[in-house]
């Protein structure tokens, strides 16, 4: 007996914003959860379990928030499970939720990821001093900047590739009513001229700081078959992690990333990754991570990812492998939700429910998330047809 076929029948998101002062943390989550339930045509009483994820507790300073949130999420008397894998957590949480259905532990699971950055200080939380090391790191940008510089050195990529990614994602965000940044008049020149924060990362090549939550409803095969509405079928899920420091580590394309990709594509029976995937939602908090992940995920040969960006192959308009039609992390970053948004947007694409950002006829899509020191990975492939 194989794994239970699993379907996504509901997706709910909040309008991402710098600050949602009109709602509490619980109120923010309920907004996403109710939207997902309404799309799924379900109520709380149909939900067997809640799988919840967020980034480190000390961001908002609420320890074990899943305990406080259980009641708001209709989980009183039901199993609730917390997942934590740093920035990749939204993706890992969706993988865990899928496993609950695939293993036939539950038939209907609500999964949700969130962050309320307006009540938090992520830069402070990500720069905690350690007694055995000197404290010179300025948040995530300071950490990833040398890795990007190494990619640029090793591939000889033109200097403005990152700006092309940033401009594309911010343009595509205009098609997504849920995106945080809607910069209608942003020109490529403005991206190029924006100040360097963590050289070679410019201000406009950096993700914003957002409040938001994203939820999905996952059900078993019979419920997916019977569902009167769009369905995305799970074709594969994979997670990998590794130490962020070991001898011989390729920090640009870590082994855990490549192995996670190999696993998820094998599960989905995909051989020609670029040809067989119709849309990608990739975790790109800093623009240069698009070409880097294109290579690491096997969409481009080593050293060639930037050429795909340069040729326009990853744009919704005219590209053969549209990446981040939603605007991506570069346009909305509620950290603990960001991975789940990638997974949910992939599902919306194969449901044909992605509105103005829809890739015509998308049949299979990849959702991707990474976290920590580029050391935690979560990926899923969803399809319009059954696996």
Partner 1 sequence: METDPLVPPAALSGEVTLPPALADAEPVQSVCTPIRLSYTYTPGRALSRYLRAMAGKRILGERCPVTGQVFVPPRGVSPLGGTATSESVELPDTGYVESFNITRVPIERRPDLKPPYCSAWIVLDGASVGFLGLVINIAPEEVRIGMRVRAVWKPDDELETSAANILGWEPTGESDEVITDYERIGRADPPPS
**Binding footprint of partner 1 on the chain (CB under 8 A):** 12-15, 21-22, 30-31, 34-35, 37-39, 58, 61, 118-119, 123-124, 127, 129, 131-139, 141-142, 145-147, 149-150, 153-154, 177-178, 195-199, 243, 245-251, 353, 355
- DSSP, collapsed to helix, strand or coil, labels residue 190 as helix
Smallest distance from the beta carbon of 317 to partner 1, in angstroms? 19
Whose tokens are 């907004």? That residue is 31
Whose tokens are 């928030």? That residue is 65
Burial class (CB in 10 A: 0-12, 13-18, 19+), 252: buried
Burial class (CB in 10 A: 0-12, 13-18, 19+), 12: buried
- DSSP, collapsed to helix, strand or coil, labels residue 233 as strand
Please identify, using beta-carbon distances, which residue of 88 and 241 lies nearer to partner 1. Answer: 241
Smallest distance from the beta carbon of 86 to partner 1, in angstroms? 17
- DSSP, collapsed to helix, strand or coil, labels residue 125 as helix
Smallest distance from the beta carbon of 230 to partner 1, in angstroms? 8
Contact 169, 284 (CB under 8 A): yes
Smallest distance from the beta carbon of 327 to partner 1, in angstroms? 13
Smallest distance from the beta carbon of 40 to partner 1, in angstroms? 12
d(CA 374, CA 87): 9
Please identify, using beta-carbon distances, which residue of 38 and 189 lies nearer to partner 1. Answer: 38
Instruction: Calculate the CA dihedral of residues 187, 189, 195, 198 and round it to 10 degrees.
Output: 90
Smallest distance from the beta carbon of 261 to partner 1, in angstroms? 18
Please identify, using beta-carbon distances, which residue of 118 and 259 lies nearer to partner 1. Answer: 118
Please identify, using beta-carbon distances, which residue of 22 and 228 lies nearer to partner 1. Answer: 22
H-run or E-run covering 258 = helix 255-267
d(CA 190, CA 197): 15
Please identify, using beta-carbon distances, which residue of 96 and 316 lies nearer to partner 1. Answer: 316
Smallest distance from the beta carbon of 243 to partner 1, in angstroms? 3
HSE (CB half, 13 Å, CA atoms) of 341? 36
Contact 283, 377 (CB under 8 A): no
Please identify, using beta-carbon distances, which residue of 210 and 267 lies nearer to partner 1. Answer: 210
Please identify, using beta-carbon distances, which residue of 1 and 45 lies nearer to partner 1. Answer: 45
């Amino acid at each position: 007996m194989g794994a239970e076929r699993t379907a996504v029948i509901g997706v709910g998101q909040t309008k991402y914003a710098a600050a949602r002062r009109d709602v509490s943390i619980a109120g923010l989550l309920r907004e996403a959860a109710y939207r997902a339930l309404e799309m799924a045509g379900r109520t709380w009483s149909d939900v067997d379990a809640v799988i919840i994820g967020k980034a480190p507790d000390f961001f908002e300073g609420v320890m074990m928030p899943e305990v406080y949130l259980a009641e708001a999420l209709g989980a009183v008397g039901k199993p609730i499970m917390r997942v934590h894998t740093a920035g990749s957590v939204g993706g890992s949480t969706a993988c865990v939720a899928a496993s609950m259905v695939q293993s036939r532990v539950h038939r209907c699971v609500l999964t949700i990821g969130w962050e309320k950055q307006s009540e938090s200080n992520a830069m402070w939380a990500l720069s905690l001093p350690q007694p055995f090391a000197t404290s010179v790191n300025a948040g995530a940008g300071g950490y990833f900047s040398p890795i990007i510089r190494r990619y640029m050195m090793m591939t000889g990529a033109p200097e403005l590739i990152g700006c092309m990614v940033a401009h594309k994602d911010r343009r595509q965000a205009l098609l997504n009513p849920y995106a945080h940044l809607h910069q209608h008049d942003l020109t490529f020149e403005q991206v190029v001229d924006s100040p360097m924060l963590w050289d070679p990362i410019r201000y406009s090549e950096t993700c914003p700081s957002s409040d938001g939550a994203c939820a999905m409803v996952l059900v078993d095969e019979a419920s997916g078959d019977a569902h009167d509405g769009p369905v995305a079928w799970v074709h594969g899920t994979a997670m990998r992690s590794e130490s962020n420091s070991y001898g011989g580590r390729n920090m640009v394309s870590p082994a855990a990333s490549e192995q996670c990709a190999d696993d998820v594509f094998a599960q989905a029976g995909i051989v020609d990754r670029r040809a067989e995937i119709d849309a990608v939602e990739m975790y790109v908090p800093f623009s240069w991570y698009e070409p880097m992940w294109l290579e690491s995920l096997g969409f481009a040969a080593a050293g060639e990812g930037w050429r795909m960006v340069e040729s326009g192959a990853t744009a919704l308009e005219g590209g053969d492998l549209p990446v981040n039609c939603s605007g991506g992390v570069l346009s909305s970053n509620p950290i603990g939700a960001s991975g789940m948004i990638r997974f949910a947007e992939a599902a919306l694409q194969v449901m044909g429910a992605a509105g103005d950002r829809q890739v015509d006829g998308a049949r299979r899509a990849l959702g991707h998330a990474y976290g920590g020191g580029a050391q935690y990975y979560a990926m899923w492939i969803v399809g319009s047809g059954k696996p």
